[in-house]
Amino acid sequence: MMVEVGNAQPFGFRFDPATTALIVIDMQRDFLEPGGFGEALGNDVSLLRAIIPTTSDLMALCRNKGVAVIHTRECHKPDLSDLPAAKRDRGAPRLRIGDPGPMGRILVADADGAAIVPELMPTGTELVIDKPGKGAFYATPLMAHLTSHGIKSLILAGVTTEVCVQTTMREANDRGFDCLLIEDATESYFPQFKAATLDMVRAQGAIVGWTARYTQLRDAWHD
């Protein structure tokens, strides 16, 4: 049965829950907690924690409706063989990727900092995709997984709006998925970048996709 989020922007978003997945991007301690990668880059990480309750509600809604929840983590192998020098050496962060930090090595897969925050822990059966880039399709099995499960539409949440979330949404759009970004389940260290991203993805007749608030999705989703 199709669901229509009539008040999505820039116009109603229609999806079939049977062919839809939720992708929760990079809700990791490294981005949301002090001492991680986000803070090492000079950001105020407290802003990002505000979306945890809405993201948790969104995950619960999807699980209740039988829609698969997929999680991503931006992180690298312990030997850093998947970390290009251009990414490691960019700028002048306090700690670089791979350096030891208070939550273990920064953005390394087996470190505590790379873990998803406890409030949004995946269930034992949910797919967790580790990705070395900003987009979740680059150098990962995500496309093969979505194709083999007949997924056509994606609901997106996570951090940060203009980096990994937007990159993934653009990658997904180019691969033929209809994408709905949940406005209050995504956040940026820069409020103006979040606002601009929401505007630009839905401009020109949903050129990249749609946006809606969590309650707009929830209220539209009747059995």
Active site residues: 26, 131, 164
For ligand C5J, how many residues bind (rule: CB under 6 A)?
Answer: 7
SS3 42: coil
Name the residue among 207, 38, 81, 62 with its Cα closest to residue 123.
62
H/E run at residue 184: strand 178-187
Contact assessment for residue 108 and residue 97, using Cβ atoms and an 8 Å cutoff: yes
- Can you tell me the distance from the alpha carbon of 164 to that of 176, in angstroms, rounded to the nearest whole number? 18
Q: Is residue 55 a contact point for ligand C5J (CB under 6 A)?
A: no
Which range touches ligand C5J (CB under 6 A), out of 54-62, 159-167, 174-182, 198-206? 159-167
Name the minimum Å distance from CB 208 to ligand C5J.
16
Q: Does 74 sit near ligand C5J (CB under 6 A)?
A: yes
CB-nearer residue toward ligand C5J: 47 or 164? 164
Of 31 and 210, which has the nearer Cβ to ligand C5J? 31
| 26 lies in the site for ligand C5J, by CB under 6 A | yes
Closer CB to ligand C5J, 15 or 31, in the complex: 31
Residue 65 or 88: the one with the smaller Cβ distance to ligand C5J is 88
CB atoms inside a 10 Å sphere around CB 126: 15
Q: Name which of 188, 183, 165, 195 is nearest 44 in CA terms.
A: 188
CA distance 86 to 109: 19
Q: Footprint of ligand C5J on this chain (CB under 6 A)?
A: 26, 31, 74, 159-160, 163-164
